[in-house]
Amino acid sequence: MRLSFPDQASLPGDPLPEYAAPPVAETTVGIQFDGLDAYNSLAAADFWAEVKAQFPAVEERQPLEPAFETFGPSDGANAVARIEMVTEVIQPRFFFVSKDEAQLIQLQRDRLFYNWRRTDAALEYPRYSHVRGCLSENLDRLYRWAARLELGEVVPTQCEAVYVNRIPLADAEGNKCGLSFIFPWLNGLKGMTEDGIFRFRRRLNDETGQPVARLNFDLRYGTDEEGGREAHLMLAVRGRPSELLTKEACLAFIDAEREVIVRTFTEVTSEDAHKLWERTR
């Protein structure tokens, strides 16, 4: 499975870039799905019981709204306001959190995500193979749990991968640097800007040329709580393959999403920055 931008051939390219010390602060991978009509908080508690040994803490959050990448005349750019009469209890989104707070599972009626996030107890990114393995394990658990409790059939509708990078605006000697040191395509900015946001979206096609996903690029920069200058770069890909969404198809699609993220990250950052992050390939 490969994803490519419309102006880019969907052909095997160079080996995927790798970094020994990437600036990844958090990564999220998972699926959105339909089908669990019988889901409730008691069912969520049963899921937690299965993972409690590894994820002993639980938090409640507001549920995420359904989100779909659509392709047509509006290209998903315009949202239509809706007024809905709520006739059922709104079920929360649960975070099942590991003891070191570096790993968590997000579960709600229509979503399951696995997160890794950098903490004082987990400073080193564990590599994608670990993240993928944890997602695969919990997708298996999701299907078994839904069947055992007769909640309904899990029908995946979207696959998603998100990488958040925290990038200090400093060179190898720790001296402050401008944005263009990290992001050379911003070298037209003269002087030091106080803060800012830069965003864009790009659609992604499958091997047949059909649009199936979208890359969201979000770069924010400014001053952190300790007075240091840093940039936050979020790269997110969400979409749906045209084939039947089995667990294996979902994982393959997320693999392709992650490849787009890694290649985009490498393309928009400088060779000097790659040295800071110890690029190995």
Domain positions in the chain: 24-75+85-276
Mean pLDDT value across the chain: 90
Q: Which two tokens stand for residue 176?
A: 């402050």
Mean pLDDT of 173-189: 87
Q: What is the pLDDT of residue 78?
A: 46
Label residue 177 by pLDDT band (50, 70, 90): confident
**What are the tens digits of pLDDT across the range 66-105?**
999 999 765 655 444 444 444 466 789 999 999 999 999 9
Q: What is the pLDDT of residue 55?
A: 98
- Residue 252 burial by Cβ neighbours in a 10 Å radius (0-12, 13-18, 19+): middle
pTM: 0.91
Tell me the pairing of strands 211-223 and 196-205: antiparallel
What confidence score (pLDDT) does residue 81 get? 43
Give the per-residue pLDDT at 222.
Answer: 86
Give the separation between CA 262 and CA 276, rounded to whole angstroms: 16
> What is the structure's pLDDT at 159?
98
